Amino acid sequence: MNKQTLINTLWMFVEKIVLVAGFFLIGAWLARYLGPGLTGQLTYLIAVYQVVQVIAKWGSESTLFRRVSKNPRSGSRCLQATGHSRVVILLLLACPIEIYFYCAKDETFFILSAAVAASALFSTLDVYAVYYNARLMSKYNTVINSYGLITTLALRTAVVTLMLKPLWLVLPIVVNSALPCLLRRRKYLRNHAVTLAEGDIKHYRRYFLHSGKHLVFSSLSIALYTQSQNFFIYHYAGSVQLGIYAVATVLATGTGALINPFITSCYASIYAETDSGRAKKRVGALLRWVTVLAATLNIMVIIASGFLIPKLYGAEFTLAREPLMILSIAATLSFMGSVTYRYIMHHSGFYYLSIKTVFSLVFSIAITGYLVKEYGITGAAWAAVTTELVSLTVLNYFFKQRAVLKMHLFTLRGR
């Protein structure tokens, strides 16, 4: 790894730590102020528009990253020519959703939904972050995202401190994505923008639609897979229970800020390994370390949760502790799944993973819908554990003559 790539990686790591820490602290304070009901409504709205965003981006992040990395000028043309297409797709999806919310929900819900929709619009347009990462200029993303985070923190602090109505959250919701997007766009237009011919616009829009149609389905399956629990809980149990479950999820998955960079850094050498036997041994050793690390950190979170939840979130969220204990198991299985996922990628199993994602989605929706309807948020937590376990084991064991099963057995036996 050369010096520039190493520095870029460190800046990306710092950015993730800053964002996760800020998100956790701001989220805890805000959830305490809003209570479980409004927290659940916001969680639901964010889940809706995360799915909308995935469709509106149409796989452009992966496409742009690859194109900018190979040819910056061509990547710039693609970035500039496809912004209109992303906006049109988002508006076509958001308008009917907002009309439904206007007719079916109360005023507060509708206004907050409009704010989340506006935030999703800026996030969809903000492919400039992808451009700077691909150009090994992630320092700018870190600095700009920090500006956005600090501004959002200040606005949310003002809302809580001054005891303003929840509708004032419209400002930090929009600013959270609008400010970084506008700052990156300004810098891009000053230093990196290119002139587009009419033929370029048509060419790159066709390229955008063609190249993204394969990627968007996989991304959509993943988005629905991760957000389906929120939809079912909101439908069957209500916004209060969803707010409580959201806190449990944040605490259970927060250890990923440490574990995911560890997995990524270790896999750099594994991807370079050409001998499959040595690769299996390295992955097996990494899987053992990840399992122990994740289990240890999650046990610490569970022990501390008896103090953290009432202290940070308030007494109304104390019911989050039970699903947190269960979700900690799911989180550990998920981190193990991340290692296994990369092992399959090492063997070029991209098509297998796309098929597996669809089966995981169908299984998750079926079991989550039933368990949430019968057992509420506790059922949702057990559904997460079951889905992660099946995804880690059964759905992986059909790959390449049981290569994953053999790697898991090696992990358990050490030989």
Name the band, by pLDDT with cuts 50, 70 and 90, for residue 254: confident
pLDDT number for residue 248: 93
When comparing pLDDT for 12 and 347, which is higher? 347
How many Cα atoms are found within 13 Å in the side-chain-facing hemisphere of 231?
17
Instruction: Kindly give the residue spans of alpha helices, DSSP state H, lying in 272-349.
Output: 276-308, 321-346
pLDDT number for residue 71: 74
Looking at residues 195-200, what average pLDDT do you find? Answer: 69
Name the band, by pLDDT with cuts 50, 70 and 90, for residue 30: confident
Q: Which of 116-130, 225-239, 335-349 has the lowest mean pLDDT?
A: 335-349
Name the band, by pLDDT with cuts 50, 70 and 90, for residue 66: low
Looking at residues 366-393, what average pLDDT do you find? Answer: 93
Q: Which of 53-57, 145-149, 175-179 has the lowest mean pLDDT?
A: 145-149
pLDDT above 90 (res 358): no
CA distances from 406 to 69, 214, 283 (A): 36, 31, 11
The percent of residues in the chain predicted with pLDDT above 90, rounded, is: 28
Q: Which of 191-200, 245-254, 285-294 has the lowest mean pLDDT?
A: 191-200
SS (HEC) of 306-326:
HHHHHHHHCHHHHHHHHHHHH
Q: What residues does each domain of the chain span?
A: 3-212, 246-413
pTM of the predicted model as reported, rounded to 2 decimal places: 0.81
CA angle 151, 190, 67 (to 5 degrees): 95
3-state helix, strand, coil in the chain (%, to 5): 90, 0, 10
pLDDT number for residue 278: 78
pLDDT above 70 (res 6): no
How many Cα atoms are found within 13 Å in the side-chain-facing hemisphere of 29?
17
Average pLDDT, the chain: 82
pLDDT number for residue 3: 60
pLDDT number for residue 136: 67
Both tokens assigned to 411: 């992990």
Name the band, by pLDDT with cuts 50, 70 and 90, for residue 117: very high
Residues contacting 307, CB < 8 A, separation 6+: none
Cα 78 from Cα 200, distance rounded (Å): 8
In this structure, what DSSP letter does residue 347 have?
T
Looking at residues 298-312, what average pLDDT do you find? Answer: 88
